A and B are shown apart, each in its own frame.
Chain A
């Protein structure tokens, strides 16, 4: 073992309650939960068949009691499927056995079925996307209900909701605004949030004609090439909050009641610019107050406690930085790995999963060092 790797492992005894590291056969940009015991990952290589895998978390992680009696620390491949094209986004349709994936070429979405009597994930149908963009792929979000609908779009103008079963379009944005989308997020049965690559954010009610609550786009003084956002967050004050992250490391916190005036804006101490701004991600912790995680700048994932911010944006330090992908790079690749995606465990408050471009997948439970002080 390299001395640096060994040093990091010794450090890790103190930094992590638990730590698991896996090597997938192909890197993934997708980490999608199905209940709290399984995740989907999918490959994104362009010239070969990619695998979509349904992985069950190691038993040791999932059991509530007597953890010590379970030696199994491995992921179980519960289902697998093959995709001819790269998969950049994957969404599970709750209460069904269906998945929707999006990739390049971006002219259709693929619908898959996961069954119990076989471990093969089968492609069952497609949803046509009328945008004929060559290099852009549609973002996807799911309206889960008795009749699930797939929200998708490449640009604001092409946003629509398609009923999964009948394939009929039940909603369209109806605007000619051609701003490119960066993310879509369904908030409840009737509303969704969108974030454009320019940083423009909006909350849309599908029962009304297009009239979203919106932010102003960050002006030309912003050095960020691309933005992403997530609605969520629990903690101080009522209601959800929105976190918006730019490729220059700028992080804004917004209140949905007043999207034009950020509650706070900080500069995160990250290496900029991000080598691949499409991989930027910001996520709120479902089990912790005022905590969020960011990734996409390098091989780390950073966790922040936003309650400690005073709105001035000075001297912001992450609560925790996961460096595992850098130190455990056993392949000796010349280029440092880049974190492609991360996600929080739905129930265990400080457990995250993160994946990197070297096909590594980590599951880590970080120690809040403030608690011991």
Chain B
């Protein structure tokens, strides 16, 4: 029985848990690999060999954080598919992650830098909407998912069976990325993240407004705002936002952006310009991405403009790397500014445990730095979430676009998603599954096998006149030839010719006894009138030799010598007219209507 099997791995809803095993037409595929390594109640690796792994959702650690572990420590040797931006950005974040885990948290048995490099050698990068042949049966295609630079939704296809995995996506465009989009590909199954399925998202405008308000209030009172960022994605968006509003509000407060960031970001953005939305693309073609009127680059080699001195009063804003405050420039600046309650640090994203970022977001106000120095954090700490995820409305939109036969929701709590399940089932009339992590869902599929019809056969049928309609289907006779994984429907004659067989005709004859005292010619006449009146849709004829035909069925009346009161009707037909022949026979067995005397 052909089927699709899906097992989401991992446990709970923590960050670092996206990993889904799909078995489609005998091929095993792993989607995302964000499992936390060293986790004690891991589900054991899949049975059977993996045909391929696709890391769809972008460079976020909860979707690729365990890739090096899986490929270098568990020993997966096959191809790993991801988009070009993900391929470029992944190793940087994995290395950061590794450094934090080993240096800050002292984790043993973690993957090494070399392992990250070796893992990336197995990566095959794909373009959007490019059909990639993994082997002679399995193909994959990436669709734009929005969310972050390089995020994609993947379609896995074997023959006519397909599964679409969304990863993280969003349906509303923002300042630097478009919205997810998929065509009406009608997969057997759509697997969608449902972490945010039971939420209704606050609008982008309001989040931006909150950010602007916090920055504005801080600089107005002479405070400084530190925004630790990665080189890519969020940083550009926030810069564009600040630039736009600084212009509108005619503000003179300086904004700085570290050059290290600028160089890296520029490089990546030039490479991946096709991944941003239309508006940005137009802007960047015309100018350097960081040529802002109000935002200036600074170089750490120069004297820090905010070195403690009386002339540096007054607010300003600084964007600096790295994003989790775990090292480098952003941490340096943080240490300088932390002691003043007029200042503010805005964390625009998730911080891995062990980093200073994570500590202050957990509410810690006293931090132990190197040399047992204690840093008191008096500055305001703001945690803002800008990453775009699909909420309930977004999920409904995507299901409406792709038109799957079934939907599977991962990473939600079943008790809290019964309403969404009903909503999806009612609106789209599809089955909705919500497996727990570790649970396998089996979907029976009915694969369609395409067959060709020979032109000759088709022409012959068309020539018979009336085209078939839904209410009156017409029977088509043909022979199905299966040869070399090919299905063809041809006419019987052609099939016989190809097979080198002689044609035989089968003809059935049935005797129906009737009580009738008249001569057989009159009996035949009665039969003719009777059938003519009943079978209005068929061609009923009375031939000169006394026989009656209904289409190609022949009815002859005979008088057996034994009993002159009985007449025998010989009804004969070829096997093609079986249905009509049987019908006529039973009709005639009921007898003829009484003739008027």
Residues of chain A at the chain B interface (Cβ within 8 Å): 1, 5-7, 9-10, 12-13, 18-25, 49, 51, 55, 58, 66, 68-82, 117-121, 328, 361
Contact = CB atoms under 8 A, between A and B. Distances in A.
Contacts of B423: 51, 80
B216 A13 contact: yes
A20 B206 contact: yes
Contacts of B198: 76-78, 119
Q: Give the one of B200, B208, B392 with max A CB within 10 A.
A: B200
Contacts of A66: 363
Contact of B422 (A9, A23, A69, A120): A120
A355 to B, nearest CB: 12
B202 A73 contact: yes
Contacts of B210: 18-19, 73
B361 A80 contact: no
A19 B206 contact: yes
Nearest to B419: A80
Contacts of B415: 117-119
Interface string B205-243: 111111011001000000000000000000000000000
A246 B255 CA distance: 52
Nearest to B196: A74
A4 to B, nearest CB: 13
A13 B393 contact: no
Given A10-B249, A69-B383, A80-B423, A19 B201 contact: no
13 contacts: A5-B205, A18-B210, A20-B206, A69-B381, A69-B383, A74-B196, A74-B199, A75-B199, A76-B200, A77-B419, A80-B420, A118-B415, A119-B418
A13 B213 CA distance: 6
Nearest to B416: A119
A77 B392 contact: yes
B471 interface: no
Interface of B: 196, 198-203, 205-210, 212-213, 216, 244-245, 248-249, 361-363, 380-385, 391-393, 396, 415-420, 422-423, 426
B392 to A, nearest CB: 6
A9 B205 contact: yes
Contacts of B419: 77, 79-81, 119-121
A24 B200 contact: yes
Contacts of B201: 22, 74
Nearest to A76: B199
B416 A13 contact: no
B200 A77 contact: yes
Q: Which of the listed residues A23, A78, A79 has the most CB atoms from chain B within 10 Å of its own CB?
A: A23
A49 B427 CA distance: 10
Contacts of A75: 199-200, 202
Given A118-B415, A120-B422, A121-B419, 9 more contacts: A10-B245, A24-B200, A68-B383, A73-B207, A73-B385, A118-B418, A119-B418, A120-B418, A361-B200
Contacts of A77: 198-200, 392, 419-420
Nearest to B349: A71
Contacts of B206: 19-21, 73
Nearest to B244: A6
A118 B198 CA distance: 13
A71 B202 contact: no
A7 B247 CA distance: 12
A118 B419 CA distance: 9
Given A22-B203, A82-B426, A74 B245 contact: no
A74 B196 CA distance: 9
A120 B422 CA distance: 9
A24 B203 CA distance: 11
Contacts of B200: 22-24, 55, 74-77, 361
